[in-house]
Amino acid sequence: MSIEATSPHLVATAPAKVCAPEQSLPVACLLIMSGGFLDVFTWLSLDGVFANSQTGNVVFLGMYAAMGRWHEAANHFPPIAAFLAGAWLAIRIRAPLLCLAGEIVSLVIAMWLLPHAPSGPLTIMGISFGVALQTASFRRVENWKYLSVTVTGNMLRGVQQLTSADPEAARGAKIMLTICLMFLVGTAIGGFTTVHLAANSLVIPIGLLACALWLCCRHRYRRYLG
């Protein structure tokens, strides 16, 4: 018989698995709400270009190129390049909270740039770069993988959890459904505020991300003190 089985003291004092603060459901909800908001914001404000949905940008890039509409095709290339650069940086440095702070800075700069260069590529590149920092750094919520800026993959994961025999599958399905609903809420808020506040509406995703950063830092600070 093993030592672990014969020693109740060792079993009782074994540390329970605790998720990192950046893997908590409240943080995931804040992040994906900002993701839904930003896709709507950039679509309405930047000539139908997406910040998060690089699938959409690739589709439009290929479609417009095939039609010979090179100028419109070129509009979708800068966010793709910026997203790849941001994802590469986030994966290399492996510092989620620093990347989240970087995204906040990127959005603040974009909010300042929009009134001065509403049709320039720098704004969408800044937003896409910041979004990539987020999505490459925050890829788990509790025990499940998810995407913090798009909804399609999370819908698929929710269906997988519903059909799984895993005892924790029900919890996983609820989490994925919650995340998808929060993305929808973010798009609704984004559509309403972008129409009425234009560039100033970016203060909302900045606030959501700041709240997520505060939750992570507060948890780490308490754990450090405790």
User: 55-81: per-residue pLDDT in tens?
Assistant: 999 999 999 999 999 999 999 999 999
Write down the pTM of the prediction: 0.88
Strands (E), the chain: 140-141, 144-145
User: What are 84-135's pLDDT values in tens digits?
Assistant: 999 999 999 999 999 999 999 999 999 999 888 766 788 999 999 999 999 9
Complete domains list, the chain, with CATH: 22-221 (1.20.1250)
User: What are 1-59's pLDDT values in tens digits?
Assistant: 444 444 444 334 334 345 688 899 999 999 999 999 999 999 999 888 998 889 999 99
Name the nearest CA neighbour of 97 among 186, 223, 182, 220: 220
Distance CA 154, CA 100 (A): 21
Q: At what angle do helices 77-93 and 96-113 cross, to 10 degrees?
A: 150
Give the other-Cβ count within 10 Å of 142's Cβ.
Answer: 14
